[in-house]
Chains A and B, each alone.
Chain A
Amino acid sequence: MIRLEKRPQPSQAFSWATPLLAVLATMFFGGLLFAALGKDPVSSIITIFWEPLFGSNAFYYRPQLLIKGAPLVLIAIGLSLGFKAGIWNIGAEGQYIIGAIFGAAVGLAFYPAQSVFIFPLMILAGALGGWLWAMIPAVLKVKFGTNEILVSLMLVYVAEQFLASMALGVLKNPEGFGFPGSRNLQQYASAHNGELIAGSGMHWGVVAAFIAVIFAYVLLARHRLGFAIRVTGEAPRAAKFSGVNPTRLVLFCMGTSGLLAGLAGMFEVAGPAGQITIDFNVGYGFTAIIVAFLGRLHPIGILLAGGLMALTYIGGDIAQSQLGLPAAAIQVFQGMLLFFLLAFDLFTNYRLRFGHREVA
C-alpha cells in the first residue's frame, strides 16, 4: 500500500528539484505524445529545445527569446509578490491591456511631434494604467471584502472590450481606410520602443524585466516589506502579531503587480507589437501565472522560467512548420509543464510511504 505522509519540514531538496523534474517529465511524456502523433519524439524535443538556442538560425531566435520572455518575466515578478503573501491577482492580462492603451494613447496624443520626453511619459502612463486597473480589485477587497481572484479575472474581459472599442474608435488610425487598429508606433520615432542594439532583441522592456528581477530579489531578501510578504504567506497569524498591516500589503502587492503588467503592455505596444489592435493581447498575463509558479515565486527562478516558456513557444512554432506538429500538441506540451510542476510540488511537503500503516 502506498500513501502520502506529510513531511515534518518541507523538503529543500525537492523544492529545488521540482522544476527540473517537471521539465524532464514533460520532455518524456511530451515525447510519447509526439510519437503517438507519428512524429519522431527525439527530433521533436530537439527541435523545440535545441533549435532556437543552437540551431543554424539561432542568431535570429536568441534575441526573440528576450522579446518573448521579457513581458512574461516582468508580469510574473509582480504576481509572485502577491502570490507569496496569498494575494491572488489573476487579472494581469487586463492590467497589461490597460497599460498598453494608456501608453499608446499618450504617445499618439503627441503625434506627429518629436520629443525625447514622449517615451518617458508613455512609460509613466503605462505603469499608471496597469496600477489603476489593479487598484479596482484591491480597493474592493480592502473596503468590501470582495474576492480579488474573481474581480481581477472579470476585469480582464472588461479590458478586452475596452481594447476593442479603442482599436475601433478613439485610437483608430485616421489614415487606415476605416480598418481597426491604431497608427503603428514603430513608425513614430519618439514613441518607438526599438532595439537598443540592433539585432540583439534588447528593448526597454527587457531592461525593465531585469531591473524588476533585481528589485524583487532585494525587496524579498533585505527589506521589511519583503519580510511582511513572506511571513504573511507562511504564517498569517504570526504576521498579524508582528504588526503587518494587511490592508497596506494588499494595496502594495496588487498595485505593484498591476504596475509591472501595465509596463509590460506599454513596452510591447510601443515595440514588438507596434499598434493597438483588437487582438493585441495574446495571453502573456495568464502565461505569467505559470511562469511565476514554475520559477518557485523566486525572482531568479522566474527569470529562468520565463526563458524556458519563451523557448517552448518559439521552439513550438519551429516544430509546427518543420515537423508538421499541430499547434494543439504544442499547447498540451506546455500544459504538461504546469501539471508536472504541481504534481512534483506535492513531494515538497509530502512523501510517499510504502507498506502498511504502523499500529500506534
Chain B
Amino acid sequence: MRPSDKQAENQLGMVMDLNKCIGCHTCTMACKRLWTRGEGMEHMWWNTVNTKPGKGTPRDWEKMGGGFKDGVAQPGHLPTKEEFGEAWEFNSKELFFEGKGAKGKLEIKGEQPDWGPNWDEDQGAGEYPDNYYFYLPRICNHCSDPACLAACPRKAIEKNSDNGIVTINADRCRGYRFCMSACPYKKIYLNHQTGITEKCIFCFPRVEKGVAPACARQCPGRVRFVGYTNDMDAPIGKLIHEWKVALPLHPEYGTSPNVFYVPPLAPALLGKDGKPDESKPRIPNDYLVSLFGPDVLDALETLKGEMAKRKDTGESELMDLLIAYNWKDMFGGFDRDPETIEWVKDSA
C-alpha cells in the first residue's frame, strides 16, 4: 500500500550537478558542525560524498533493500554502526601530553577499522588508463513517498505539508529503527546516546527563515540548486522539468526522491592509435542507467548537445543555468544571508 499518496503541494528539493562536484566534503563538514556535533551523533554524516563506483555509506547500501516495488514495501537490512563507519577516537591526549613522545604514534583507539564513511575515496573501477570514477553527494531525499514514514509504527515521521520536508519527530520516536531498514537510501542513523533515530532535516530552521540549507549554501563548487521542485522560475524547476537533465537516484526504489542529479561526463577514451575513441563513453552507460534510470542517456545527450552548441555559438540557456553566474540565483529564493538574522534572547 502506498503510504503517502498525498504529496505536498510545494515540495522542496535539490539538484546536484555532478559535473561540478569535486568531492571536497565542505557540505559534509557544514552539516556536521551544524547538526550532528552532539554526543551519540559522532558517527552521523547526514550528508555524505562517496566515490562511485564504490560501496558508499553505509557499505554496500545499494544492496540493503527497502523502498517499494510496485507500491509494495520491500524488506530492508538494518545498517549497523560498523557499516556506516565508526567515529574513530584518537590517542591525541596520550600522545601529546601524557609522555608518549616523538616515537609514539597518533592512532585510532581500540580495534583498527577496515571501513569508514569515505574508505574507497578516489578508487573507482575499470583498468588504467581507461578507469573511471566520480563523486556522488547524498542527503535524505525527502521523498514524496517516504518509505521511512510508511514503516514507522509510532507515526513519528512527518512530511511537512507546506514544503515536503521529511522529519523524525523526536518526541514520538522510540528508536524502533524500522525506518532505517525501510529507507532504501540508508540515510537514517541511530543516536546511540538517546536511542532515537535522526537524519537530514533539510535545514528546516534555516529554510523557514529563507536561508538555503548549509550543505548548499556552503558548497564552494556551487553544485547544489535549491528550491521548490516545481518552481519554473528557478533553475531547479527548469533543470528537472524543462531541460530534463536532473534525475533522481535509483528511481526504481519507488520512493519518488526529491534530490536530482545532473549526470557526470568524463574525458574521452583513447583508442589504440592514441586518438580519441568516441564510440563508447569512459563511464559505461549501463552503470549510469543503473544509478539514474534509462532517462540518463537522454540527459547526457542534452548536456553534450548544449555544450557543443555553446562552444560553437556562445549560446545556451542550459549552460547559463549550470554556470550560475550569480550564486544566489541557485537557491530558488532561499538566498537570505543568515548573518542578517538577529535572535531575540529567550526570556525564560
A associates with B: no
Question: Contact residues of B with A, CB < 8 Å?
Answer: none
Q: List residues of chain A with CB under 8 Å of any chain B CB.
A: none
